[in-house]
Amino acid sequence: MPDNIVLDFNQQLAGLKNDYISNLKDEFKQIEKLIHLLSVEKNKNAKILDDLQHRFHKMAGSGGTFGFDQLTKQARRFENDIIQSKESLPHASEPNIVTYLKDNIHLLINSLEEVHATVSASASEQNKTEIKLKNEKHIYLIEDDLHLAEHLKIQLESFGYHLHLFNSIDSADKHVDKQKPDMLIFDIILDSDKKNSTKILLQNRPNLLNDNCPLLFITQNDSFDNRIRAAKLGALGFYLKPLNIPMLVNRITDIFEQKTATPGKVLIVDDDKQLALNYQLVLQGVGIEVEILKNSREIYNEVMEFKPDLLLMDLHMPDYSGPELAGILRQYDNLSSLSIVYLSSEQNLEIQQHAINKGADDFLSKPIHNTQLISAVKYRINRSRIIKEKISRDSLTGLMKHANIKEAAKMELMRSKRNKKPVTLVMLDIDHFKQVNDTYGHATGDVVINSLAILLRQRLRQTDIIGRYGGEEFLVILPDCNNKFAINIIDDIRRNFNEVNFNYQGKKFNCSLSAGTATSTTFSDLQSDELLIKSDQAMYKAKESGRNRVVAAQE
């Protein structure tokens, strides 16, 4: 994060804190007014105490978040005292609770002296994420088998990776100043380095091997000692010769996708709007996309529109409680995997557990400091994504399943109409795939399917959506993309796929694909299923006109 962005982030946090302090003064006036009313509006005491309890509850949850730990402590004390008085006294008009609140409200006001001068920027500094602006990935391959190295170079560059070849670790280390690697792949035992261990050869080379540079090993010796050596160096993969190149490329793609994946989306549901704004700002400071629910009655529509990875929700709210809203969402089958986490100042463990049993996944306690919030949210987003992928992803390709990609097409077309921006659907099919299965077997056919999936994942934007529509057929959704751009990018993928060399028992072969595109602006009156049919028809026109080409649907 650039220094000017960090500065702006800290200024916004400080501004929120100042606003909170300012609003507290008004809140204290309201509390003092309510305490006064307790002694004069005796027939309304139960309602007034409920109002006071709710205000103290909110203050207990927000105070510590803004750095006022004593405020949280005092507010929680008052909240608990009110709860106990309501449970133990036959009438809420008993004078002792009124007297107690009058005599001790100054403790709440005095707690503001705990104000810290500035909001710590450590959370943003410790959680900075470096985002590469270029898509090109530079991979160092250290391999003294030059024939294998050249073959691997050709194959990896077909998938868009730039491979730098070296025959020793020393030669690779000398090249680092010219171009730092995004990944390091090398033979665990090089002929020229047999006298030295890999660990010795790599130590004191921080520019070549570091935590930000993933490491993969290739070798023809699958021994326990070699795997231990790889594990000690933190290798993320261990591949045997002769190499299964599509499998290797798939792993490379997975690693880069994990490193560049968006930090995720969070929807906040909290009636304390100022506290919700603070959470939003803190999480946005580390790149997480955050929205705050404005109307509880629109929670389903908001979730379907925003598609959050995590719902962060208060437990006690005046209109609808957290468990009630979670219960509504769990009524929808398509939201069964949505991660819901309560963030509340509720201290009663039985109430917490009861709330979790009503449709949530976890419970976080207010007040929560910024670093803890960031860490907790990041962890739960990652877990949410893993669960979603297991449910909605095809096991071979890692792409969306048929039903999920069709639902995504429907949602993106609806979004495009609202935003008045085009969306293009692309149907792709591998040419003569039956012949591949009949000639080389289904295992090789799976390699071909997976190779195309890797190319699509590697070449398309993060905002694009890819699914395995069935068999050797794929559906790609390109939001904010006109037909001309869609044809250009898909035709580039077509050419690269045609250049991938497949190998079966020493026999090399290539495959091609045919694709059809259909853009929402060309067919503005069509629904998603009808637009899918148009792209499918265009794909068959591509096959009928000779295959290995991209055809756009026409009106």
Residues catalogued as catalytic: 472
What dihedral angle (degrees, nearest 10) is formed by the CA atoms of 387, 391, 396, 398?
Answer: -50
Side by side, which strands form the sheet with 289-292?
289-292, 265-269, 310-313, 339-344, 362-365
54 Cβ contact list (under 8 Å, min separation 6)? 316, 318
Alpha helices for 273-369 (secondary structure H): 273-284, 299-306, 322-329, 349-357
CA distance 12 to 9: 5
Asked if 460 and 466 touch (Cβ cutoff 8 Å), the reply is: yes
CA distances 162 to 112, 153, 354, 458, Å, are 58, 8, 54, 13
Minimal CA–CA distance to 55: which of 29, 37, 36? Answer: 29
**SS3 letters for 415-431?**
HHHHHCCCEEEEEEEEC
Residue 50: count of CB within 10 angstroms of its CB:
14
Cα dihedral 376, 378, 379, 382 in deg (nearest 10) = 150
The two beta strands, 362-365 and 550-552, are unpaired
Instruction: Find the helix or strand (DSSP H, E) in which 10 lies.
Output: helix 3-40
**Sign of the C-alpha dihedral computed for residues 131, 135, 138 and 139 taken in this order:** positive
